[in-house]
Chain A
Amino acid sequence: MSTTTLSKAERPQYRAPEHRLTFAGQLRSEWIKFWSVRSIVWTMVASAVVTVGLGAAFAALTASFMPSGEASEVRGMEGFGLTVSMGGAQFATLVIAAVGVIVIAGEYSTGMIRTSFTAAPGRVSVLLAKAVVLALAVTLVLGAAVFAAFFLGQALLSATDLDDGIGDPDVLRLLVGNVVVLVGVALAGLGLGALMRNTAGAICTMVALLFVLPIILMLPILPDFPGKDALTDYNFASTMTALTTPEAMGPQALSVTTSAVAFAVWVLAFLAAGALVLKRRDV
C-alpha cells in the first residue's frame, strides 16, 4: 500500500447529520409523491368527474323518461333516487382502482421504487404509507364527489318525486357505503399493483374482478360447478353490493355486516399479498 493511501485512510470517518426515518416522514413523502405526478392527479380528477357527471346524467335521463305520474313501481321506493345518482360512483370504482395501481406500479415501471426502498429499506412501511395517503385522498376527493353527485342528482329528480332526502332512512349509510367502497377498491388496486408490478396487467385484472366476473357468474348458460354459489355471493364485486344498494330494493345475498366484513377481508388480502411480494422480491 502506498504511503499516500495510508495517510488518506487514516482520516476520521465523516459523520452524517442526525436524521431519522419515521412513519410520519414517510406519510409526508407519499403525500408529496401522490400529488406531484400528473397521471395520478388527472385520474383522481377523472374519478370525481365520472362520479358527479355520470350520476347527474343518469338522474337527468331518469327524470326525462319517468315524468310525474308514471313509474308507479319505483315511486315511493326508498333509495331509488339515491341509486340513480350513484350510477357514476359505480363506474368510478374502476377509475379509482387504477389510481391505486398507478401509485405503486408506476414506481416499478420507472425505477422510482429503488429510490423509495433505499430511503425506507423496511419496504412494508412504504406500502402502508401509500395506503394511508391513498385512503385519505380518496376519502376527501370522492367523499366530496359522492355527496355532490347525490345532491345534484336529487335536484334533477325533484320534479319527478323520485328524489330522496339526505335525512331519509338508509340514505346516509348508503352514501358512506359508496365512499367506503371507493376507498376499499383503491386500496385493493394498490395491493394488486404491488403484487403484479405492472400497471396494465393490474388494471385489466381489476376490470375482470369488478365487471367481467360478476357478469359471467350471472350468465344462465353457465353450468353449475362446486363453489359456484359461494363465488357468486363472495366474489370481490359482490361484497360491495349490500354496501351500496338500498334495502328497499329487495333482499341481498349478504347482510350489510357480512358484506362489510367480506369486503374488508378482500381489501386486506390484496394489500397483504402485495406486501408479501414487495417485501421478498428483489427490485
Chain B
Amino acid sequence: MIEAVGLRKVYGRKVAVDDLSFTVRPGIVTGFLGPNGSGKSTTMRMILGLDRPSAGRVLVDGIPYAQHRNPLGAVGALLDAKAVHTGRSAFRHLQAVAATAGIPASRVGEVIDMVGLREVARKRAGGFSLGMGQRLGIASALLADPSTVMFDEPVNGLDPDGILWIRNLMKHLASEGRAVFVSSHLMSEMALTADHLVVIGRGRLIADEPVQAFIDRTRPRGVTVRSPQVEQLRELVSAGGGRIAPAADGAFDVQGLSPQQIGDAAARAGVALHELTPQRASLEEAFMELTADSVEYQAHGAPEPAAWAPPVQNSPQQETAQQKVAQEVAR
C-alpha cells in the first residue's frame, strides 16, 4: 500500500511533480497514467526514496520506504530495464540483490524460471534485449515476494507474448492481495489491466478513480445506426429532435437521441434496424478529453508549451533520457 500526500518535486525551475496525492490499495491493479514526461517515473523514484521530494511525503505501509527493515519485501520495483550492471550476468545480479536481505539462493532460481530467463541467466545483462531486460527487472522486483509491486512501463519492449504474460502476472499478483502500481503512457494497456487509475498530467493529479468512472466522465457520444430504410430513419430521427449524419460504410451517426429512443421510435414506425450501437468513449478518448481540458486550464496560468503535446523544452527527465541514450551509444 502506497500513500502519497502533497508530493512535489522541483528540478531547478521545472516543477516535475506538483501537489500529488493518491493511494495505491492492495488487491487491485492501480494504473499510473500520463504522457511521457508527466512525472510518473519521478513519482516512483520518490516512493523508493531515490529522489527526495521537494515537499510532501509518501509512505509505504505507513512508513517511509527507507525506514523499512525489509525494503525489498515492502516494494518490489521495476524502475527501468537499465537498473542493472551491464557487465554482470542475470544470475549474479539477482544473487547480489537477494544477498542483501538474506533471501535464500533457491529463490533466485525460482524467479529466473518465473520470468523465463533460465537459458540466458549466465549471460551478461548488457547483451539482453529490451524485453529480456524487463524480465530481469521483474525477476528482481519479485525476489523478496513483496507486498507491493511497482512497475514502470513494464510492457516496453516486450513482444505480444510477453505483454500478455505481464498483464496476467499483474492481475495474479493483485489477486493475492498485493498492491500493484503500474505506470504506462498507453491508455489502451491500462484499459486491459487496471482496476483503478491515477492519472497525471504535467505532474498534477487529473483523476484518481476506478477505470469505469474515468471513462464515464467523457461526454456522451452518438449512436451508430444501420437501416435499409434510410428516408424513414432520417424522418423519425428529426421528429425525435436528433441529428443524423452519414458515417462510414453506409451506417449513420445519430446525435441527441439515446439508443432506446431510436429503437422504440423505429419499432413504432416499422423501420428495420440492422445495427444500433451506442458509441462509448474508450479510455484513450476519455484521456484525450480530460487532458484537452487540462491544456486549456494550463494555458491561462502558465505561458508554456501545451502540456500534452510532446514537450519541446528540455525537461530534466528528457536530459537524463538523452544522456542514457548517449551512454548506450558510447558503450
Contact = CB atoms under 8 A, between A and B. Distances in A.
The yes or no verdict on A and B being binding partners is yes
Interface in A1-50: 1-2, 4-5, 8-22, 25-26, 28-30, 32-33, 36-39
B88 A17 contact: no
A164 B213 CA distance: 85
B27 A8 contact: yes
B70 A9 contact: no
Interface residues of A, number: 47
Given A14-B178, A20-B70, A282 B51 contact: yes
A122 interface: yes
B183 to A, nearest CB: 15
Contacts of B84: 110-112, 115
B220 interface: no
Nearest to B73: A16
Interface stretch (B141-149, B245-253, B285-293): B141-149
Interface residues of B, number: 63
B154 interface: no
Contacts of A107: 85
A118 interface: yes
B87 A5 contact: no
Given A19-B73, A21-B101, A118-B79, A33 B28 contact: no
A76 interface: no
Given A2-B212, A121-B49, A22 B177 contact: no
Given A5-B210, A25-B101, A37-B87, A120 B28 contact: no
Contacts, number: 166
B99 interface: yes
Contact of A115 (B65, B97, B327): B97
Nearest to A21: B101
A11 B101 contact: no
Nearest to B141: A118
Nearest to B72: A119
A110 B324 CA distance: 9
B180 to A, nearest CB: 10
Interface of A: 1-2, 4-5, 8-22, 25-26, 28-30, 32-33, 36-39, 106-107, 109-112, 114-115, 117-122, 280, 282-283
20 contacts: A2-B213, A14-B147, A16-B147, A19-B72, A19-B101, A20-B69, A21-B72, A22-B100, A25-B102, A26-B99, A28-B100, A32-B92, A111-B83, A114-B50, A115-B93, A115-B97, A118-B48, A119-B71, A120-B100, A121-B66
Given A29-B97, A120-B100, A282-B51, 13 more contacts: A2-B212, A4-B195, A11-B27, A16-B74, A19-B73, A20-B101, A21-B70, A29-B99, A36-B93, A111-B83, A111-B84, A119-B97, A282-B52
